[in-house]
Structure 1
Amino acid sequence: MALAAALSANDSAAITSAEAQGEAEAPAPEGEITIVGVRQPYRGDFALREIPQSIAVIEDTAIRQNNFLRLTDALDLNASVSRQNSLGGLFDAFAVRGFAGDENIPTGYLVNGFNGGRGFGGPRDVAGIERIEVLKGPAAALLGRGEPGGTVNIVTRQAEIGRSFGSALVQYGSFDRVRGEADLNIALTGGLTARLIAYAEDGDTFRDTVDQRRWGFLPSVGLAIGPNTRVTYDLEYTRVETPFDRGIVVLNGDFDTVPRSRFLGEPGDGDHVARATGHQLRVQHDFTPDWSLLVGASLRDTLLTGFSSDAELVASRQKLLRDGRSLSRQRRSRVYDSQQWVIRAELSGTFQTGGLTHRILIGADHDQFDNDQQFGRFRPPPLSGNPSDQAGYVIDVLNPVYGRFPLPTPGPQNDRLDVQRSTGLFVQDQIALTDRLQVRIGGRYDDVSLRTLNRLTGIDSRRSAGRFSPQAGIVYEVSAPLTLYAAYGEGFRANIGTDVTGAIFDPETSISKEVGIKLTALGGKLNGTLAVFQLNKDNVLASDTGNPGFSVAIGKARSRGVEFDLAGQLPGDVDVLVSYAYIDAEARSTLLEPNFNFQIRPGDPLINIPDHTINAQASKRFAVAGRAASLGAGVQYVGERSGETGTAFTLPAHTLVRLFGEVQPIEGLTVFAAVQNLFDARWYANSYAPLWVQPGAPRTASIGVRGAF
């Protein structure tokens, strides 16, 4: 008997791991247990067209075709996701539908339904990812504590019980990048299987003196206890070593101030090192075909350490603004240590009352996040004292000479422990009123306690808060391929940390509304969603630029827009993916920032959020001399966007083109290649200020060989 064939049933999108590997599902020998799927948390037993919410799925196939290696690169495939300031390239930061969360903490995401993205483990690698789900809109009644724009859930490759298969690859890319990966699924006994996934990468980058090394081990163990119970354990053990890199400077709006390759830090600082160790344990039990219990726990420890040399942002201390070449720099030290515990359980099932069918989801979760930050800073003196170049830790941006001065010693700036405890209870009931009409009602209650201990000032701040967040939705099937839906949801999320005085911020609250149309065509091979949405948030935070590591409250913000997602297979073995978003994200309050003397006014755009974004690609499968092959191309357009909060500094629009293809010269062996930024466009991934602008990579290419059995 097969156990729970993936109740996340995303029509054509919810594929098994075997299908993701391009393997056919082998029939199970008589008497053996074969697991073909596992239930996805917070989802219940629903097909995509039945959910009153826009959900986009980025498949492993699309990631592999483009040879994307980082989570943020893969997220570019969905236009509703925008890149944000990435802490010198050392953490993942993105916004969904215009809302990004706390700029001082990595953007949160789920891993198999567990909170897993807030630590400082470095940019997440795509190795071990089965698919990425962008769960957009008002889902706070179930998920809790997330951004109202949406939540990203990473579904990892799981041990497939009862099967043995494997693959390995090696590739070489621009800037002498070498990478190897291996994925081996071993059936140890009839009910016990181990899946061993590992990767390693080493090479330079397009940035002068900046190289990188990263590796990871991501095993999964699956155990079937009878035909109705599965236990899964996953380990994450990763390491990233690379210099901290704030990017380039832009003077007076001139993006050619320096070449995009120019590194303005100090090689003598060495690497920042990011480490992550994570554990997940999940138990799924099916009582009947209609009722299932999912229980699990997750623990993730991360540590980020290193030194960096960064451009000074305050004008009164920045010599570059006077002579156009002498960049005054800070020197910073970081020891960021975090731990996150999550436990969660949910019961899902179906029952009837009268002539109505109910599909209900009841659950609870508890989250503990400890964030310990020790941050030091040397800062150049004010220009009014006419400091020497050594005192200002100056580097010539037009002709940099590294190691010109002794490295300054950072003094204590921030030594703080933030502790967050959150407990949530949730319930959702989707009721079929007729064969075509369904309504969803639900709610979640969150109880949150916060503590911030500032070891430098001795201030120990504490706060507790709780709130009920309702959710409602309606789905109407107009015809077999066409469904209409509408949804409303309220959200609640505690703002971690304090302002510079030690005051804990009010929790962030939100209201989300959306209406949309879903299309399922060609027998489920082609799926699309057109949605219109509006999101409102209160108690929004932004980085306190005068006090690194602290935040300031900027009040209210609003995001509204239109988005369209289409993915699937057309006749003739043509795979397509189209994603478009128009997003109008803006501040709705007034704030005067005293350190930089700028003012945020209602209507000011939120940083790094383009109005228009589109990503489209198509690929064709065919045969060459009887051997399987494919060829495809993609294009991404990102519109102009604000490059600094509260000012007129703007990042220009860009268009990037990519090509990819593969061929199987012999059975079980694939040669693949990809080219990113085909026309070598000059583009900018994100910005925090004109002196901290992250340039995008020039034309890059890679070629590799993949073997499978």
Structure 2
Amino acid sequence: MLHIFKNGRLLAGTLPFALATAPFPASAEALGESEEGAAEERGEAITVTGVRQAYRGNFAVSEIPQSISEIDAKVLEQNGIQRLADALDLNASVVRQNTLGGLWDAFAIRGFTGDENMPSGYLVNGFNGGRGFGGQRDTAGIERVEVLKGPAAALIGRGEPGGTINLVTKQAELGRTFGTAAIQYGSWDRVRGEADVNLAVTGGLTVRLIGYAEDGDTFRDHVHQTRWGFLPSIGLALGPDTRLTYDLEKTRVSVPFDRGIVVLDGNFDTVPRSRFLGEPGDGDTVARAEGHQLRLDHQFSDRWSLLVGGSIRDTLLTGFSSDAETVASRQALYTDGRSLSRQRRSRRYDARHYAIRAELAGEFETGAFRHRVLIGADYDNFDYKQLFLRFRPPALSTNPSEQQGYVIDINNPVYGRFPLPIGPAMMDRTDRQRSIGAYVQDQIEITDRLQVRIGGRFDHLTLETDNRLTSQNSRRTRSRFSPQAGIVYELSDPVTLYAAYGQGFRANVGTDVSGNIFDPEQSESLEAGVKLSLLGGAITGTLSAFQLTKNNVLATDPDAPGFSLAIGKARSRGAELDLAGTLPGRVEVLVSYAYVDAESRSEMVDPNTSFALRPGDALVNIPKHNLNMQVARTFAFGEREAQIGAGVQYLGKRRGETGSDFMLPAHTLFRVFGKVDLIENVELFGSITNLFDKHWYANSYSPLWVTPGAPRTGTIGLRAKF
């Protein structure tokens, strides 16, 4: 977020998103020449107290040859959204994936996800923040969610070709004191409190304290959750041209591990959506995270700036779970329709991730051409230890007893019936990923309407695996250059055309049967589109088309069951439309639609399910059609201000298990929300999701691991501001 002060007084509120990426102090382009000129005539100093975002440079969104969507704090607040997964539902290009029983965030952008045995990676203020096992991200402390689609790997590196999520957190705003506090009550006795207080300690030092706590049941039987977080930020002005920012993340999530429901023979009413088929005696799985970020932003002149920073994040996930056995030869449910054979698992996933990065942004001219450049380098280190124990029921051919099969009756579950089994270690391994990267980007303004972007990134990657079960150590290094190119042409004031191309890669985790670390996935991205600015800029949006391909997807080794090879191929192509803005009459609109055709492009066996994949098979959990629309209107309610809004999401049918014919049905969900000022600076707010109480399913790994969506859910609360 970018704010402008003159002589310590706030000059403007939050600037539009296109300006919020500009360096500071603000140039005439960021402030507007008339505003800056008037300030200069009065001899007033102009200081920008915000933080420039990495990888972005001084560009309006319309100048970037890439589709970018934003979900800001206002939209999150309107909808009563507290989870990143729910926030990403508002953008149709992003769909949910396997979330490890609700313990991490997993999503696909434009049809591609990463390793489904790891949480999806995302950025926090330009630093990798999604790696590790800290639980599902809460939206407290988030200023906006940026969905950066398309070929961005030439700058960011090591990512999926579909795009990247960047979370911009709420920063300490220098020279201001303000705050909000809210308490709310929701369905299933869920209680939540949160606060955000920005305190100007001195003229150049500000502390922003953000925290939340939540406790309550869920619509799932025996699933009670507790979560809290402390997310402070400290901003320090080291002079008019330099700012130092420190952010802390301290969070904890405690919730039973929950694989969801079972679906027999395509019948989604096999059990009620509330039925818990795990074991309450397993207790909670606990996910903890502690992260630190330190960033220094310095402006050399109105043309050149430097951003230097570092981050370190420790996460730990521990707990037990009782999960349905997915192998048919071990599953009694397929013989009598009610006796569910279960595994029991123990996890201790411990990860540390730290990164250092620096970026120089600036502009210059060569003859008639204007150049805007980004030059950067980073070092990234990710270590994680996995200790995984598993008990499995024996094969049905051995005629096991119910205790040996760790069976539960899905129609009449009796918990605690058998002693809790403990299995042997299936994994005891430490993986290390270290990379050094450097990138450069130059966007050249050829004419007033035509701009060309060229750039690339070089990465040197070191992968190490220490397998304590086999006493085998593996190490591999890889280097790769990822190029990018783009073009932007302003056809008219409201219409800008663009096209982009990029390459990238992502490290595969683990080794083959010989102990050799897998080759990284390699990707190629093509994108073209139109950026729109309608009704004088009141409505902005992007219409785009894309095609993505990647190689070295993990597949089962046919000569070594239980091991994998990096030989698979996949492709995704489609089209998207994103529109947002405000119509006359204070009517806010948001429209997001995506058509995605994501499929396997090689014949392979999935390493997780052992099912065969054929060319043309759709990828799991990826619908072809996804639509989200929302409208909200602000109006006077007596002498008070009020707002009411509604939204709808349609998600098409999609494959629920890799390599099989199991499909999750399409669903359409409606939501309503509103707020009204009770007295000055105090408002009553509320929301209802799944208004018509539809049965829907968020994602699936197999017919025996299906995550049901929540029924009708209501929330009401009070929010005070000062």
Which TM-score applies when normalising by structure 1? 0.95
| 1:619 alignment partner, SS class | strand
- What is the aligned partner in structure 2 of residue 313 from structure 1? 326
**Aligned with 1:678 (options 671, 691, 702):** 691
1:524 matches 2:531 = no
- What is the aligned partner in structure 1 of residue 203 from structure 2? 190
Q: Give, in angstroms, the shift of residue 539 of structure 1.
A: 0.8
Q: Give, in angstroms, the shift of residue 522 of structure 1.
A: 3.0
Change (3 A) 1:367 1:69: same
Deviations 1:642-686 (A, max 9, x none): 111111111000000000000001110010000000000100000
**Aligned with 2:647 (options 634, 641, 661):** 634
- What is the aligned partner in structure 2 of residue 11 from structure 1? 18
Deviations 1:684-707 (A, max 9, x none): 000000100000000000000000
**Aligned with 2:455 (options 412, 429, 442):** 442
Residue identity in the other structure for 2:603: T
- What is the aligned partner in structure 2 of residue 611 from structure 1? 624
Moved more, 610-619 or 499-508: 499-508
- What is the aligned partner in structure 1 of residue 430 from structure 2? 417
| 1:148 alignment partner, SS class | coil
Change (3 A) 1:294 1:550: farther
- What is the aligned partner in structure 2 of residue 120 from structure 1? 133
Q: 2-side partners of 1:542 and 1:687: how far apart?
A: 20
Change (3 A) 1:323 1:279: same
Q: 1-side partners of 2:77 and 2:564: how far apart?
A: 38
Change (3 A) 1:239 1:31: farther
- What is the aligned partner in structure 1 of residue 661 from structure 2? 648
**Aligned with 1:362 (options 372, 375, 378):** 375
Change (3 A) 1:317 1:501: farther
1:601 matches 2:617 = no
Q: 2-side partners of 1:598 and 1:143: how far apart?
A: 34
Q: Please say if residues 556 and 605 of structure 2, whose CA atoms lie closer than 8 Å, have aligned partners that are also in contact.
A: no
- What is the aligned partner in structure 1 of residue 29 from structure 2? none
Q: Give, in angstroms, the shift of residue 493 of structure 1.
A: 1.9
| 1:142 alignment partner, SS class | helix
| 2:335 alignment partner, SS class | helix
**Aligned with 2:679 (options 663, 666, 674):** 666
Change (3 A) 1:173 1:34: farther
Change (3 A) 1:7 1:335: same
Q: 2-side partners of 1:495 and 1:520: how far apart?
A: 41
Q: 1-side partners of 2:122 and 2:572: how far apart?
A: 20
- What is the aligned partner in structure 1 of residue 568 from structure 2? 555
Residue identity in the other structure for 1:647: S
- What is the aligned partner in structure 2 of residue 21 from structure 1? none
Change (3 A) 1:162 1:594: closer
Q: Give, in angstroms, the shift of residue 526 of structure 1.
A: 1.4
Residue identity in the other structure for 1:139: A
Deviations 1:87-107 (A, max 9, x none): 000000000000100111100
1:705 matches 2:712 = no
- What is the aligned partner in structure 2 of residue 375 from structure 1? 388
Change (3 A) 1:552 1:697: farther
**Aligned with 2:112 (options 76, 79, 99):** 99
1:165 matches 2:172 = no
Change (3 A) 1:544 1:342: farther
- What is the aligned partner in structure 1 of residue 148 from structure 2? 135
1:82 matches 2:89 = no
Q: Give, in angstroms, the shift of residue 585 of structure 1.
A: 0.3
Matches within 5 A, 1:278-677: 278-499=291-512, 502-541=515-554, 553=566, 555-592=568-605, 598-677=611-690
Change (3 A) 1:304 1:6: farther
Q: Please say if residues 303 and 338 of structure 1, whose CA atoms lie closer than 8 Å, have aligned partners that are also in contact.
A: yes
1:245 matches 2:252 = no
Q: 1-side partners of 2:606 and 2:112: how far apart?
A: 21
Residue identity in the other structure for 1:11: A
Q: Please say if residues 515 and 533 of structure 1, whose CA atoms lie closer than 8 Å, have aligned partners that are also in contact.
A: yes
1:695 matches 2:708 = yes
Q: 2-side partners of 1:15 and 1:198: how far apart?
A: 29
Change (3 A) 1:34 1:195: farther
Q: Percent identity?
A: 68
| 2:87 alignment partner, SS class | helix
Change (3 A) 1:552 1:577: farther
Q: Please say if residues 430 and 465 of structure 2, whose CA atoms lie closer than 8 Å, have aligned partners that are also in contact.
A: yes
| 2:75 alignment partner, SS class | helix
Q: Please say if residues 235 and 244 of structure 2, whose CA atoms lie closer than 8 Å, have aligned partners that are also in contact.
A: yes
Q: 2-side partners of 1:595 and 1:526: how far apart?
A: 45
| 1:64 alignment partner, SS class | helix
Change (3 A) 1:5 1:365: farther
Structure 2: unaligned runs, 5 residues or longer: 24-37
Q: Please say if residues 555 and 607 of structure 2, whose CA atoms lie closer than 8 Å, have aligned partners that are also in contact.
A: no
Q: 1-side partners of 2:414 and 2:564: how far apart?
A: 34
Deviations 1:170-225 (A, max 9, x none): 00000000000000000000100000000000000000000100000000000001
Q: 1-side partners of 2:608 and 2:373: how far apart?
A: 51
- What is the aligned partner in structure 1 of residue 290 from structure 2? 277
Q: 2-side partners of 1:668 and 1:613: how far apart?
A: 38
Q: Give, in angstroms, the shift of residue 31 of structure 1.
A: 8.0
Aligned positions, number = 699
Deviations 1:147-166 (A, max 9, x none): 10000000000000000000
Q: Please say if residues 13 and 59 of structure 1, whose CA atoms lie closer than 8 Å, have aligned partners that are also in contact.
A: no
Moved more, 202-211 or 590-599: 590-599
- What is the aligned partner in structure 2 of residue 263 from structure 1? 276
Q: Please say if residues 180 and 719 of structure 2, whose CA atoms lie closer than 8 Å, have aligned partners that are also in contact.
A: yes
Q: Give, in angstroms, the shift of residue 37 of structure 1.
A: 2.5
Q: 1-side partners of 2:510 and 2:122: how far apart?
A: 19
Change (3 A) 1:164 1:349: same
Q: Give, in angstroms, the shift of residue 593 of structure 1.
A: 5.1
Residue identity in the other structure for 2:215: D
Q: Please say if residues 141 and 442 of structure 1, whose CA atoms lie closer than 8 Å, have aligned partners that are also in contact.
A: yes
Q: Please say if residues 589 and 631 of structure 2, whose CA atoms lie closer than 8 Å, have aligned partners that are also in contact.
A: yes
Residue identity in the other structure for 2:327: V
Change (3 A) 1:550 1:617: farther
- What is the aligned partner in structure 2 of residue 22 from structure 1? none
Deviations 1:492-528 (A, max 9, x none): 2221222465331111111100100000123333111
Q: 2-side partners of 1:119 and 1:550: how far apart?
A: 24
| 2:62 alignment partner, SS class | helix
- What is the aligned partner in structure 1 of residue 31 from structure 2? none
Q: 2-side partners of 1:268 and 1:79: how far apart?
A: 39
- What is the aligned partner in structure 2 of residue 24 from structure 1? none
Deviations 1:327-355 (A, max 9, x none): 00000000000010111100000100011
Change (3 A) 1:548 1:405: farther
Residue identity in the other structure for 1:120: F
Q: Please say if residues 5 and 39 of structure 1, whose CA atoms lie closer than 8 Å, have aligned partners that are also in contact.
A: no
Change (3 A) 1:499 1:179: farther
Aligned-residue Cα RMSD (Å) equals: 2.4
Q: Give, in angstroms, the shift of residue 409 of structure 1.
A: 1.2
| 1:82 alignment partner, SS class | strand
Residue identity in the other structure for 2:17: N
Q: 2-side partners of 1:295 and 1:535: how far apart?
A: 32
Change (3 A) 1:106 1:35: same
- What is the aligned partner in structure 1 of residue 248 from structure 2? 235
Deviations 1:512-558 (A, max 9, x none): 0010000012333311100000000001237999x999866461000
Q: 1-side partners of 2:564 and 2:83: how far apart?
A: 28
Q: 1-side partners of 2:43 and 2:448: how far apart?
A: 38
